[in-house]
Structure 1
Amino acid sequence: MQSIIDWIVNLMEVLGAPGVGIAILLENLFPPIPSEVVLPLAGFTVAQGSLNFLSVFIWSVVGSVLGAYVLYGIGAWLGLARLRAIADWMWLVKASDVDAAMSFFTKYGKPSIFFGRLIPGVRSLISIPAGLDRMNLVTFGLWTTLGSGIWNAILIYLGFILGDNWEKATEYADTYSNVIYAILALIILGFLIFFIRRAIKERGQAQA
């Protein structure tokens, strides 16, 4: 983690606020670079007077949105046909499960993009189903900007007000993330149980 912090500090020293945007862009694509470290550190740098709060915020949102569009493109490239084929190949999952998930996303896609940007572990991945669904690019960008703006502003502000203790903001974010991960794990477990029970039931019907 220290090497990541050193790299971020060097990036901000060389490029200023755009360096924050680049770090957040990469964070969307490479999870080992966590926004929970980048943004509070940027806020601390603002508190020192080295950077401007507004410029840091704007560049961080630009990085978030650009990263989201890259993942949207991956989803659009993958396409529903490929995803259905993958689902048919996988154990327990069916192409119909993909259809059901995409039907849900089509109905609730807009709020899913917004709230997804506030959920660790989902923040980046939520862009992929948007690409699969071919959500309107402007609509996708607006909801991504709004959700990312809230998340980024909170973490930058925490780093700003905590000053030398900016790492506490990372601790707060980690605590929040752990709660979310526990909830997601329970949801995944629930789906896994459903898929297993369905497979057992269908096998029983086939043998009857």
Structure 2
Amino acid sequence: MSHLHLFVMQHGLLAIFVLMALESCCIPIPSEVVMPLAGFLAYRHLIGFWPALIVGTIANLVGSLIAYAIGDYGGRPFVLRYGRYIGLNARHLDKADHWFNRFGEVTVFFGRMVPAVRTFVSLPAGFARMRMGRFLVFSLIGSAIWNLGMLYAGYQLNKNWQVFADHVKPFTYVGAAILVIAVIAFWMRRKSGQGLE
């Protein structure tokens, strides 16, 4: 992880863009480390807080579009064949597919805020050829919310950012559980509403 920290410290917004784009393009780079570190740099006035948020979110969109295109044009067999070179396997696809098949297009929004799922969620959207407008809107809003939370946490923790990086994952899993419950509740209300019509 020290190389990741060094890269962001030395190259600022450019490093944030590259890393966050790669993360959304199915490269397992932990944004829960990158964006808090960006918050730390913003606290130190080495980069701007809002520029870091904008750059990180745009980078997520760029990476997501690439992953969507791969899913759309290459399909699952292509991804499984070549994904192994970047650590992507059938289990990752199955997890993202499960979310997408169960909750539909709203998965793109909620999935942006769930560790592991956020990295691969664009692929099943591409497989399903989700409408581009909805894909972009859900990706933009979900990524912005996640990035803002991570950036703000790093900014507030400033001197303790490394402690945060080491201990953030258990909390992100709690957050993931809360998101799953929220999605299920939304889905059940929607289904019950349709049943009454």
On whether the aligned pair clears a TM of 0.5, the verdict is: yes
Q: Deviation per CA, 1:148-206, whole angstroms, max 9, x where unpaired? A: 11110001001101111112332342113455899xxxxxxxxxxxxxxxxxxxxxxxx
Partner of 1:132: 127
**Structure 2 residue 119 is matched with structure 1 residue 111:** no
Partner of 1:4: 4
Distance 2:109 2:127 in 1: 17
2:120 alignment partner, SS class: coil
1:134 alignment partner, SS class: coil
1:28 Cα deviation after fit: 2.5
1:54 Cα deviation after fit: 0.8
Distance 2:147 2:74 in 1: 29
Provide structure 1 residue ranges, at least 5 long, that are not aligned to the other structure: 87-97, 183-208
Distance 1:61-1:136 versus aligned 2 partners, 3 A rule:
same
Partner of 1:23: 19
Q: Deviation per CA, 1:97-117, whole angstroms, max 9, x where unpaired? A: x9xx69x84784221111111
Distance 1:114 1:181 in 2: 13
Residue type matched to 2:3 in 1? Answer: S
**Structure 2 residue 152 is matched with structure 1 residue 157:** yes
Partner of 1:92: none
Partner of 2:30: 34
The TM-score with structure 2 as length reference comes to: 0.72
- From 44, 60, 63, the equivalent of 1:64 is 60
The TM-score with structure 1 as length reference comes to: 0.68
Residue type matched to 2:151 in 1? Answer: I
Alignment coverage as a number of residue pairs:
161
Provide structure 2 residue ranges, at least 5 long, that are not aligned to the other structure: 82-93, 178-197
Residue type matched to 2:43 in 1? Answer: A
* Greater gyration radius: 1
Question: Pairwise CA RMSD of aligned residues?
Answer: 2.8
Partner of 2:168: 173
Distance 2:140 2:176 in 1: 23
1:50 alignment partner, SS class: coil
